[in-house]
Structure 1
Amino acid sequence: MRIVFDARLHFPVVSGMSRYIVNLLTHLLEIDSKNEYIVLVNGKLLPNDEIFNLQKFDNLRFKTIHLPHMGLVNYTLMPRIIRKLKPDLYHYPMLDAPIARGVKTIATVHDANVVGSIKKYDDRFGIKTLYFKKALAHTLRKATSVIFISKASRTEILGTHHLTENTTFRLIYNGFDATFGDIQTETIQEVRAKFKLEKPFFLYVGQIREHKNVLRMVEAFLKTDSEWEFVIAGNNYMNIDFTTYPSRVRYISMVSDNELKALYYHSNAFIFPSFIEGFGFPILESLAFGKPIIGTQTGAIAEISGPFLIGVNPFDVNDIALKMRNFQAGNYPPLDIVQTREYLEQFSWKKCATEVLALYKQVHATEK
């Protein structure tokens, strides 16, 4: 079987999409040496990018595609390229799959990108919103099979779209690196000194965009115990001027993987009242260090956090602040790291890859 996996959405920045692509491909290739994989990448990657570590697998080859991964070009030119590669199936890891006629297509849909007036991107004129709505509807109608990464995302999306009998739907949870919670003592000490982590603190790690609800997080935090700090790490796409806030709101921009682990280690709780999440890797990262999540009480955040969630209404600053103050006051029992790590065992990249490979075989065996 020849499998074309479209990895053009992998870029040299930390993101949930890149983690999904690299980890899924790595574990697929570790369990599947029989099938041929053609991995499409964009032209912006450097030769030392982590995805090129996959060159060690004999049944894989890369093909660079100098086309954008979204928009009209993706729908008009990509199908021709896909057909020329003569795949038995094509896997596109996002909602706007370019469907090539006669090619069995699997799409992974992480979330809807839009919930009401809340969006994951800057869209002043509504063009992107219209694009994603039309693209998602097209994928749900035309793809051979669609993978959802959480029950919440599946329920939300399938409940608002007209479906056909041509497409099948599968729930396959993302995996998680079981070694993420491993950290060296030297790193712990170095990061503590570098960022002067001397006080108890709440932590948020991730992109700073409207749908992540960072402004409400800060507003809620400023209603809490003044002895605590709020550490925020991530790419500031909203260009928020954090210097206008009191010094206990600390923005430290992007961090390395080791620094990220140390931040989780030193933190007291992870703050995650996001409006839109299809899964939520930071939830699992926080639990790897036995830290609770103060986050959205519904949707994928509640689903993935399981019993370790302190739920909040993401629209209610006072509710977020109340749960923060209750946590500071010791009103929630500390988590048992043995229990949180046992919970994480259900999120395995090997399990994810095994289920995806089984879907590949099932789709390949069906009639077009």
Structure 2
Amino acid sequence: MRYLPFGGAVLYESWMRLSWPKVESVVNAPDLVHATTIIAPATTRPLVVTLHDLAFLRHPEFFTARGNKIFRRSLEILKKNAQAVLCSSRATMTDCVDAGFSASVLHHVPLGVNDVRVTPSDVQRVRSTYSLPSEYVLFVGTLEPRKNLARLVQAHALIADAPPLVIVGAPGWGNGTPIASENIIFLGHVPTADLAALYAAAQALCYPSILEGFGLPILEAMVQGTPVLTSFATSTEEVAGNAAVLVDPLDVGAIADGLHQVLARHDELSHLGRVHATTMSWQRTAALTHGVYSQVCAS
């Protein structure tokens, strides 16, 4: 096993400024190099990159000044060097065209979801581990501004009999994180092994994000038969299909009305979500990715 001489921020800067060290210095004759983040490694081989979103262009206020600068620099490099760009959603493909990518290099490769089986004992275990109430609605995501948690909490407060809101996710950055209370429960980061049962035990997933490249929690909830509330007019609408309640993420009243709906239509949305999730497999993602690899290697 061979390793690059350094990593982290130093490596990213070296790749962008010096185009060094090359991937080929530690991997013998790769057919292609696939970058799974916006910062692509230095290479002379064909470059494939996955772009989940270009949120820093749409909403630069959600990112640090340094982050915006680095992402924009890297984007220019990708426009010059990437032979293929894999986009998680059609919304991201549109953003890429608007940012100057040729449509010919863009490929729609949606993400997938694992069908994780959850037993009643799994649900009981997470209820006990996290001291959860018998009913709750769930939010899953990093605590950062574009996740729109502040408006979700405001909407939740408008519903007198709403189940408590349980918030799962690692700390991010920015202001607006609500204060824990009897009806707002923070779990922070949880082990992956507990996540499926937390979805399964919830009355609904509330995910009114302002902008996502995909929105994997939507599918993770649907697999467990948990009804979903999410945002319209972004990739989350694509991911949800016709199996979720869609709301305007900037309208607190609309989010509150959506929460009423998702709880009232529990059985209907549970069924629709399970059916929809079966169409979104990682096997399909892998097959689409392999197809792009074959096309790039043949060109």
TM-score over 0.5 for the alignment? yes
Residue correspondence of structure 1 range 125-164 to structure 2 within 5 A: 126-158=65-97, 160-164=98-102
Does the C-alpha gap of structure 1 residues 174 and 227 become closer, same or farther in structure 2, counting only changes over 3 Å? closer
2:296 is matched with which residue? Answer: 363
1:140 and 1:155 map into 2 onto residues whose CA distance is: 14
Residue correspondence of structure 1 range 332-343 to structure 2 within 5 A: 332=265, 334-335=267-268, 337=270, 339-343=272-276
Is the CA contact (8 Å cut-off) linking 1:99 and 1:105 kept in structure 2? no
SS at match of 1:250: strand
1:333 and 1:176 map into 2 onto residues whose CA distance is: 21
1:217 is matched with which residue? Answer: 152
Shift of 1:114: 1.6
Query: CA-to-partner distance for each residue in 1:197-249, whole Å, 9 max, x for gaps?
Result: 33422100121111111111112111112452000011122387978443110
2:237 and 2:230 map into 1 onto residues whose CA distance is: 8
Quick check: 1:252 aligned with 2:187? Answer: yes
Q: In structure 1, which of residues 43, 59, 81 is the aligned counterpart of residue 22 of structure 2?
A: 81
TM-score, scaled relative to structure 1: 0.73
1:91 is matched with which residue? Answer: 34
| RMSD of aligned alpha carbons | 2.5
Identity over the aligned pairs, expressed in percent?
A: 23
SS at match of 1:350: helix
Residue correspondence of structure 1 range 58-207 to structure 2 within 5 A: 63-65=2-4, 66-68=6-8, 71-76=12-17, 79-84=20-25, 85=27, 86-100=29-43, 102-118=44-60, 121=63, 123=64, 126-158=65-97, 160-164=98-102, 168-178=105-115, 180=116, 182-207=117-142
Quick check: 1:238 aligned with 2:173? Answer: yes
Is the CA contact (8 Å cut-off) linking 1:314 and 1:320 kept in structure 2? yes
Q: Which has the higher helix share?
A: 2
1:211 and 1:364 map into 2 onto residues whose CA distance is: 37
SS at match of 2:34: strand
2:167 and 2:177 map into 1 onto residues whose CA distance is: 10
SS at match of 2:242: helix
Does the C-alpha gap of structure 1 residues 357 and 190 become closer, same or farther in structure 2, counting only changes over 3 Å? same
Shift of 1:151: 0.9
Shift of 1:346: 2.1
Is the CA contact (8 Å cut-off) linking 1:183 and 1:258 kept in structure 2? no
Gaps of 5+ in 2: none
Is the CA contact (8 Å cut-off) linking 2:21 and 2:42 kept in structure 1? no
- The letter of the residue matching 2:36 is P
Quick check: 1:303 aligned with 2:238? Answer: yes
Quick check: 1:275 aligned with 2:210? Answer: yes
- The letter of the residue matching 2:240 is S
Does the C-alpha gap of structure 1 residues 308 and 67 become closer, same or farther in structure 2, counting only changes over 3 Å? same
Q: Which moved more, 1:129-138 or 1:274-283?
A: 129-138
Is the CA contact (8 Å cut-off) linking 1:118 and 1:275 kept in structure 2? no
- The letter of the residue matching 2:119 is Q
Is the CA contact (8 Å cut-off) linking 1:140 and 1:146 kept in structure 2? no
